[in-house]
Amino acid sequence: MDLVTLTTFLTPFLPYLLKAGEKATEEAGKKFGEGFGANAWEKAKALWSKLQPKVETKPMARGAAEELANSPNDADAKETLQKELKKFLDEDKNLYAEIARLMQEDSEAISQVVNTFNQTISGKKNVVQNTVGNDNTGFGQVGGDVTINK
């Protein structure tokens, strides 16, 4: 499982996922249903429902998720969240297996969000160079170098 893909996929949903239970959840369903399709929003909710209990227990993970929700192109926040998620997933093999399964179920929706999100970042004075490859898990890996032009 690729943590870059996981965090990149979740990033545009984080502002809504962090406010789950509020009206924001309803707004997000409408917004993402139009932009990415209902499958993407449902996938993000499913993934977050598995990760959130762990994220909530670790201030660094929670802070990184909140920062990424506020500043989606914050490379430090993304890296911190990836490191925290890696710790959780390394410690809990059942959680790892469940997240991997969820990501494989609808890899097209995940790829669409990741590609769209990376294009959006490119349009905001960032240069994102992506490489897409197969990691033999049934879905493509998305990774790359990010250079921020100021």
User: Which residue, 40, 47, 85, is CA-closest to 64?
Assistant: 85
Give the pLDDT confidence score for residue 92 in this predicted structure.
Answer: 95
Give the pLDDT confidence score for residue 135 in this predicted structure.
Answer: 39
Conformation bin of residue 136: beta by default, left when phi > 0, alpha when psi is -120 to 50:
left
Q: Which residues of 125-149 are buried (b: 16+ CB within 10 A; e: fewer)?
A: ebebebeeeeeeeebbbbeeeeeee
What pTM was computed for the model? 0.71
| Overall domain count for the chain | 1
DSSP state of 106: T
Question: Which residue has tokens 């097209």?
Answer: 108
Domain that holds residue 112: 3-148
User: Which residue, 148, 2, 3, 1, is CA-closest to 78?
Assistant: 3
Give the pLDDT confidence score for residue 88 in this predicted structure.
Answer: 92
Sign of the alpha-carbon dihedral angle for 117, 83, 85, 20: negative
Contact 139, 103 (CB under 8 A): yes
Exposed/middle/buried for residue 58 (C-beta within 10 Å: 0-12, 13-18, 19+): middle
CA–CA gap between residue 86 and residue 16 (Å, rounded): 23
What does the DSSP assignment read for 35-55? HT-HHHHHHHHHHHHHHHHHH
Please list the pLDDT of the chain residue by residue as tens digits (150 residues). 789 999 999 998 898 888 865 566 666 666 665 666 667 888 888 999 999 999 999 999 999 999 999 999 999 999 999 999 999 999 999 999 999 999 888 777 788 888 877 665 444 444 333 333 333 333 333 444 333 333
Give the pLDDT confidence score for residue 64 in this predicted structure.
Answer: 96
List residues bridging with 143 in a β-sheet. 131
